[in-house]
């Protein structure tokens, strides 16, 4: 059965691939799996039909063979396991790759999201200019540690894995911030990830939706 995912009917990111369906598309492309996309409006995301798939009324969701999932971490892990991709075969390597997935979602992404939210929602507050550097310091602290661990390696732990897919997806959100520039090895890591043909296909597919050229 072909997997079906949901994505924004019109992504507020202007087609930059920052909405989280891109990571699911990317994992499916890495697995060589065709998929269908059901586009949803902001209103439809809060309707009972969508809430039955996603309790928080968000995108993306994933359906395949009677299984319905939400949360991109769970979905990418499921795709990796189901199709035997993006995870090392040995149990220890596999566990480490999953640790990197959690690190991306639980340790690196939260301060990035906090900065994003502050930029969108608090820009007009008088204390915004004072708060922003503090939020950026928290991000730099994470990037500093990540950069030290990556060193000159291509990927975080051996071959490209679901951990790298998730970490790169998170770092992509910083592209326009200027914060990555102080970490050339992370910028190069991100460029390597973006150059993967599977990512290119995923990016092009979400952009086509934004341009009104397909799902």
Min dist. Cβ of residue 148 to ligand GTB (A): 26
18 makes contact with ligand GTB (CB under 6 A): yes
Alpha-carbon distance of 55 to 121, in angstroms, equals: 24
12 makes contact with ligand GTB (CB under 6 A): yes
CB 170 within 8 A of CB 111: no
Q: How many residues bind ligand GTB (CB under 6 A)?
A: 11
Exactly one of 4, 15, 20, 93 binds ligand GTB (CB under 6 A); which one? 20
Alpha-carbon distance of 10 to 175, in angstroms, equals: 21
Exactly one of 9, 71, 157, 194 binds ligand GTB (CB under 6 A); which one? 71
* 69: nearest Cα among 81, 82, 55, 83: 55
For residue 117, give Cα distances in angstroms to 86, 95, 152.
Answer: 31, 32, 32
| Binders in 101-160 for ligand GTB, by CB under 6 A | none
19 versus 77: smaller Cβ distance to ligand GTB? 19
With 0-12 CB in 10 A as exposed, 13-18 as middle and 19+ as buried, what is 83? middle
Exactly one of 3, 19, 193, 202 binds ligand GTB (CB under 6 A); which one? 19
* 53: nearest Cα among 110, 3, 125: 3
Cα angle 201-1-36, degrees, rounded to a multiple of 5: 35
207 makes contact with ligand GTB (CB under 6 A): no
13 makes contact with ligand GTB (CB under 6 A): yes
51 versus 159: smaller Cβ distance to ligand GTB? 51
174 makes contact with ligand GTB (CB under 6 A): no
CB 15 within 8 A of CB 206: yes
Give the range of 56-64, 134-142, 176-184, 197-205 binding ligand GTB by CB under 6 A.
Answer: 56-64
Interface positions with ligand GTB (CB under 6 A)? 12-13, 18-20, 45, 57-59, 71-72
């Amino acid at each position: 059965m072909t997997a079906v995912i949901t994505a924004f009917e019109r992504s507020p990111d202007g087609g930059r691939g920052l909405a989280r369906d891109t990571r699911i598309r990317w994992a499916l492309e890495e697995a060589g799996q065709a998929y269908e996309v059901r586009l949803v409006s902001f209103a439809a995301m809060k309707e009972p039909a969508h809430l039955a798939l996603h309790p928080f009324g968000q995108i993306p969701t994933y359906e395949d063979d009677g299984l319905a999932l939400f949360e991109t971490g769970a979905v990418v892990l499921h795709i990796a396991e189901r199709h035997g991709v993006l995870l090392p075969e040995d149990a220890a390597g596999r566990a480490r790759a999953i640790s990197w997935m959690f690190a991306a979602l639980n340790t690196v992404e939260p301060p990035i999201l906090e900065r994003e939210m502050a930029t969108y929602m608090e820009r007009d507050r008088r204390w915004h200019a004072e708060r922003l550097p503090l939020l950026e310091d928290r991000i730099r602290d994470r990037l500093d540690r990540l950069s030290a661990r990556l060193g000159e390696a291509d990927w975080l732990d051996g071959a490209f894995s679901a951990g790298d897919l998730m970490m790169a997806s998170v770092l992509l959100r910083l592209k326009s911030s200027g914060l990555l520039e102080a970490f050339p090895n992370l910028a190069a890591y991100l460029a390597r990830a973006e150059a993967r043909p599977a990512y290119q296909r995923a990016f092009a597919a979400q952009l086509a939706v934004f341009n009104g050229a397909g799902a």
